[in-house]
Amino acid sequence: MAFDFDTPTNRLKTDSIRWDITHSKEVLPLWVADMDFKSPPCVIQALNDRVQQGIYGYTHSPNQMNRMIADYLQEQYQWTIDPDWIVILPSVVSGLYTVVQQLTSKDDGVLVPNPVYHHLRLACTTANRSLQEMPLVLKEGRWVLPSDLFSEIVSAKTKLALFCNPQNPGSTVYTRDELKEFGNFCVQNDLWICSDEIHAGLVLAEDRKHIPLASISKEISGRTVTLMSLNKTFNFPGIGLAWAIAENPELRKAMQVGLHQTIAPPSLLAYTATMVAMKEGEPWRKALIEYLRKNRALIQERIDSIARLSLDKMEGSYLAWIDCTELKNQNPYQLLLDAGLATSPGSQFGRDQFVRLNFGTQRSRLNNALDIIQKACS
């Protein structure tokens, strides 16, 4: 089946965070990480069918849900888990905040990569935990962990390490050896691990595949909470859900604190969308990956032609992490915004001289964005 990713979608006045927040038709918003593509036809049809039933009462997680997730992870990543290890959550973000609050105390330290998705940092500062940064190093076009600095960063107060794979915003898809080194370091230093793997289904590099950190060894699995969701891959974050996977029952118990009390459960439509995506969405996902690969190639070609900008390899997801250091501009985000393009400011992720560009959009829009960048930065 052919899928249409090229036809422009109109998201103005749809209460879209990305499209409505600029309050201007003159600004092209390629910032927040949701895509401009319609969700897979199978998801749209399943949601339509569920809506037509006409009754939307209180719901519980379907009895087959955990087994479906376990089977999906086995099929996609060759990761064998017990369905009982799964805790259904409303979102990965709520899982991040729960992990920090429940697995650390006020005086504890948390290891957090830099750059990284801002909610990993906010989960620590909101809970008044000490944030200990792991500065990622750009090596051969990949943002890698500073293994030679691990022993210097960790302290007696460090209790938890937050991790992101594929990396956001840097897009690195970590290798088995890289994961093993980091996981073993955490085991040796008696650290809990929380691995945000929401972009697992969006690996673009042909020579990489997603490997769940907890799949590396039983020792690492026993210390790890893995957070996953199909919200990003199948583009339904507005109705989606997430799950935590923890082999250790102590960690599973921690992830259930507040569920159905202060943390709302997913909606019945979230279960509908997620289950049909697992069951029938793979052809659409594969077509999406091919489209995003072509977008990635276009970005690489255009950015390489601008002398003072540079990019990493963009191994995973649909986020381009653009280095603007050589522009010698104090605020590259504002420079592009004034020119008509809204990106995510690098300061949000811990690196002021970068911007993050969402290329999960139609190629015509992406070309418009690249024209704006070229004009503003040349």
What percent of the chain shows pLDDT beyond 70?
99
Is residue 372 pLDDT above 60, yes or no? yes
205 and 178 Cβ atoms separated by less than 8 Å: no
What is the pLDDT at residue 219? 98
Collapsing DSSP states into helix, strand and coil, what is residue 213?
Answer: helix
Site of tokens 């960790």? 154
For the cut 60, the answer to whether the pLDDT of residue 239 exceeds it is yes
Between the CA of residue 168 and those of 75, 113, 177, what are the distances in Å? 24, 10, 20
pLDDT band at 24 (very low <50, low <70, confident <90, very high): low
Dihedral angle sign, alpha carbons of residues 86, 87, 92, 95: negative
The predicted-structure confidence for 161-220, as pLDDT tens digits, reads as follows 999 999 999 999 999 999 999 999 999 999 999 999 999 999 999 999 999 999 999 999
- In the predicted structure, residue 101 carries a pLDDT above the cut 70: yes
Residue 133, classed as helix, strand or coil, is strand
Task: Using pLDDT thresholds of 50, 70 and 90, give the confidence band for residue 12.
Answer: confident
Res 66 pLDDT > 60? yes
| Rg (alpha carbons) of the chain, rounded to whole number | 20
pLDDT of amino acid 320: 98
User: Which residues are bridge partners to 358 per DSSP?
Assistant: 319
The rounded mean pLDDT for the chain is 96
Contact assessment for residue 133 and residue 116, using Cβ atoms and an 8 Å cutoff: no
Maximum CA extent, the chain: 59
Q: Which of 7-21, 53-67, 139-153, 289-303 has the lowest mean pLDDT?
A: 7-21
pLDDT category, 26, cuts 50, 70, 90?
confident
pLDDT value, residue 375: 97
Query: Is it the case that residue 23 has pLDDT exceeding 60?
Result: no
Give percent of the chain above pLDDT 90: 91
- CA 255 – CA 329 distance, rounded (Å): 43
The reported pLDDT for the residue numbered 17 is 86
Average pLDDT over residues 241-257: 98
Q: What is the pLDDT of residue 22?
A: 62
Closest CA to 186 of 228, 144, 210, 214: 214
Assigned token pair, 218: 């039983």
Asked if the model's pLDDT at residue 51 lies above 90, the reply is yes
H-helix or E-strand spanning residue 242: strand 242-245
Overall average pLDDT of the 329-344 stretch: 96
Residue 127 has pLDDT above 90, yes or no: yes
Among 85, 20, 55, which residue's Cα sits nearest to residue 228? 85
Please compute the mean of the pLDDT values over residues 105-132 and round it to a whole number: 96
Coil, strand or helix at 227: strand
Euclidean distance between CA atoms 340 and 335, whole angstroms = 9
CA 364 to chain centre: 24
pLDDT (0 to 100) of residue 147 = 87
DSSP 193: E
Task: Please determine, for residue 84, whether its predicted confidence score (pLDDT) is greater than 70.
Answer: yes
